[in-house]
Amino acid sequence: MRHLTLTLVVVIVVLFTKDANSSAAIILEVFDENVFVPKNGFREQGLRLHNHYRSLNKVSPLKLDHELNKLAHAHAEKLASWNNLTASETGFDENLWSHRGELLPLAKDLEYAIRCWYTGSTTPGRVQASVDHFVLRSDSVTSVGFGVGTSEHNGEGYSVVVALYQ
């Protein structure tokens, strides 16, 4: 019965997302914790959320780039192990985000990071971000890659999200 319910939710979400102007459909798909996220599914969710925010600003949608994903993942893992946020030396535009506390599912980390990048809001003391608000809304940017790295330091979880743009 549980499998049937999850399948039904996924089918409903897919049907709702056919309407690109429906923010409720995109939010349902991205934020519903009961929807099964396949391996690497967090990147596709991140792309949908990015493109949702871009559509609010009448900017063309981004495409997910495999090479940018690999670079973003490597940088996120490195930053998580260093317990620090520093810009990469890839030459690409980027946004960074980190969170200390309970480790969250990858899709949740990415959701919170993208919201922060779009709105500029953070929770003092728990979240740190390096934000280029304009890159998320720039029409000259055509592709994006995401990476999430996690680690534990002194018994506390540490998550880092990196988005690279080209």
> Domains in the chain, start-ordered, CATH in brackets?
42-165 (3.40.33.10)
Residue whose C-alpha is closest to residue 151's, from 46, 71, 80: 80
What's the order of all strands across the beta sheet hosting 127-130? Answer: 63-64, 143-153, 156-165, 93-101, 127-130
Greatest mean pLDDT among 40-54, 65-79, 118-132: 65-79
pLDDT of residue 75: 96
- Mean pLDDT computed over 76-103: 90
pLDDT of residue 132: 58
Q: For residues 88 and 18, give the distance between their C-alpha atoms in angstroms, rounded to a whole number.
A: 36
Report the largest interatomic distance among the alpha carbons of the chain, rounded to a whole angstrom.
49
**Angle formed at CA 96 by CA 94 and CA 100, multiple of 5 degrees:** 170
Beta pairing partners, 152: 157
Q: How many CB atoms lie within 10 A of CB 146?
A: 29
User: 47 pLDDT exceeds 70?
Assistant: yes
pLDDT of residue 88: 87
Q: For residues 47 and 63, give the distance between their C-alpha atoms in angstroms, rounded to a whole number.
A: 7
- Mean pLDDT computed over 84-100: 89
- Mean pLDDT computed over 118-143: 70
Candidate from 9-18, 41-50, 150-159 with smallest mean pLDDT: 9-18
pTM (two decimals): 0.71
